[in-house]
Structure 1
Amino acid sequence: MAKARNTEKAAKPNVFMRIGLFIKQIIDELRKVVTPTSKELFGWSLAVFIFVLFLMALVTGMDFGLGELMLKLFG
């Protein structure tokens, strides 16, 4: 029974080995990243900018509309 515990402990890597493995996996994943072209970067940036403007307009409209509704209901 005592030998089984020792083999379990030996099979489990220590903290520093796990941190090293984690960093190695991060580096491996970063090697897979593809840098966008300037055209793609501009297109996605424009899409995000338009989406944010749309959400700002939506929230502003809801804020104004609900504010007016509350003024009419409660006076």
Structure 2
Amino acid sequence: MRTVTETMGSTATPEREPEKKRQRERRPGLFARLRLFLRQIVAELRKVVWPTRNQLVTYTTVVIVFVLIVLAIVSVLDWVFSRGVFAIFG
């Protein structure tokens, strides 16, 4: 079976980029990248639609009530299972 280089007749080697072109394409330094990252964070935070005080109170209340409901369910299940274990293993 022939390889691609045998059928084409020559071995093509990719040309290397000139040294100056590679130097121009260097990425910015650490502090420049950090500054860019922080600027992008601020830009994204400006796009955020912040909740009003009423919405914040409502969301907080809903979360606290939900946590209390889950706490009650887990507590009841814990009590039931502990009674069951004590009844079986005494």
TM-score by length of structure 2 reads 0.67
CA deviations over 1:19-65 (Å, ceiling 9, x no partner): 01110111001111223222211211111111110111122112111
Structure 1 residue 2, shift from structure 2 partner? 7.3
Moved over 6 A (4+): none
Q: Please, what is the CA RMSD of the aligned residues?
A: 2.2
Bigger share in helix: 1
Aligned length: 74
Unaligned runs of 5+ in 1: none
Consecutive unaligned residues in structure 2, runs of 5 or more: 1-15
Q: Report the equivalent of 2:65.
A: 50
> Partners in 2 of 1:44 and 1:59 — Cα distance?
23
For residue 56 of structure 2, what is the aligned residue in structure 1?
Answer: 41
Distance 1:3 1:50, change over 3 A: same
Q: Pick closer, same or farther for the CA change 1:67–1:23 going to 2, 3 Å.
A: same
Tell which has more relative contact order, 1 or 2 (C-alpha 8 A, sep 6+).
2
